[in-house]
Amino acid sequence: MGKILVIGAGGQLGQCLKTVATRRSIADIVFPSETDANILNQAGLETLLAKEQPAFVINCAAYTAVDKAEDEVALARAVNETGAANLAIACAAHGAALIHVSTDFVFEGNEVKLLVEDDIANPINVYGQTKLDGEKAVIALLKEHFILRTSWLYSEYANNFVKTMLKLGADRDELNIIADQVGTPTYAIDLANAIFDIIAADSVAFGVYHYSNEGVTSWFDFAKAIFDISETNVKANPIPGSAYPTKAARPAFSVMDKSKIKNTFKLTIPYWRDSLVACIAKLQ
C-alpha cells in the first residue's frame, strides 16, 4: 500500500479515515495536525511531504459552509482551489498520488438523470464553483490523481444533517424539512472504506469518480428515516425549498451514477438506509 498521509485529519472524513484505518489494521498512515498540514502553507506542505514521503495523500481539507461561502468568497476559494493546487504541486514534487475529495455541488442539478463523471459541471453556488476550480487545479498540476465526488456526507463525527436532526427532533414537536431537493446521503465511514479500497487496488486508473451510497431520497425522506430508525417522536412536514430560502442555491437533483468506480475498483456500495441504521446505532 505504501505510506498514507491524511490532510484535514480533524474533520468529519478525516476522523472516519482514522476509525476505518484502525478497524482495517492500516498502520502506515499519518494524521498530521492542521498546523503541520495547512494547505494554504505551500512551504509547510513541502516540508511535511519531504519528511513523510507518502505514496498516497488523501485531501479531506475543504471549506464546506455552503451559505457562508457566498459572503466569504476569498476564503472559500483559498481553501478549495488554492489549497488543492498547493497540495497537487507538493505531491508532484514528492512522487505521491493524490486522492482529492470533491462534491455533487459541482453540478447544476436541473434535470432528473443520473450524473456521470463527464457530464458538464455548472455550479450554482460559490462553494460548488470553488470545488470545481479545485478539481481543475489538481487535474492540471498532477497526473496521479483520483478525484472523488461525494454527496450529503454524515457520520458519528463533526456536525452533519443526521446529528442536527437527532438534536432538533429531541427538542421539538414539529419540523419542516425540504422535500424537493433530491440526492443520496453518504455515510463517511463507507467513503473512507472506499478510499482505502482504491489505495489497496494499486491501480493507475487515475481520474474523476463518483461515490455516494446507493439509492435516492429527498431531505424530507432522509429526515423521516432518521426519526424512524432512532425512534424519535417528532412530526416532520414536507416543504418546498422556496419556503426555506437560503443564501446559496442548491441543486434540485444531484444523484450520481457510481458505475465507473464500482467497475474499476470492484466496489460493493451499501444502500443509504442500511448505512444510516449503522450510524444511528453508533450514535445511540
Q: Which residues of the chain have pLDDT under 70?
A: none
**DSSP category for residue 67:** T
**Beta-bridge partners for 6:** 58
**Beta strands at 174-178 and 235-239: parallel, antiparallel or unpaired:** parallel
pLDDT score of 79:
98
Specify the 3-state DSSP secondary structure of 48.
helix
Q: Is the whole model's pTM more than 0.85, yes or no?
A: yes
Cell numbers 476522523: residue: 15
Structural domain boundaries in the chain: 4-159+186-215+255-269
Catalytic residue (one of 127, 157, 187, 211): 127
Q: Is 136 exposed, middle or buried (0-12, 13-18, 19+ CB in 10 A)?
A: middle
248 and 126 in contact (C-beta within 8 Å)?
yes
How far is 139 from 206, CA to CA, in rounded Å? Answer: 10
pLDDT score of 1:
80
Angle at 160 between CA 157 and CA 165, to 5 degrees: 115
17-40 pLDDT, tens per residue? Answer: 999 999 999 999 999 999 999 999
pLDDT score of 117:
98
CATH class of the domain at 4-159+186-215+255-269: alpha beta
247 and 67 in contact (C-beta within 8 Å)?
yes
Catalytic site includes residue 157: no
| CA-based end-to-end distance of the chain | 34
**Beta-bridge partners for 115:** 256
pLDDT score of 130:
98
90-137 pLDDT, tens per residue? Answer: 999 999 999 999 999 999 999 999 999 999 999 999 999 999 999 999
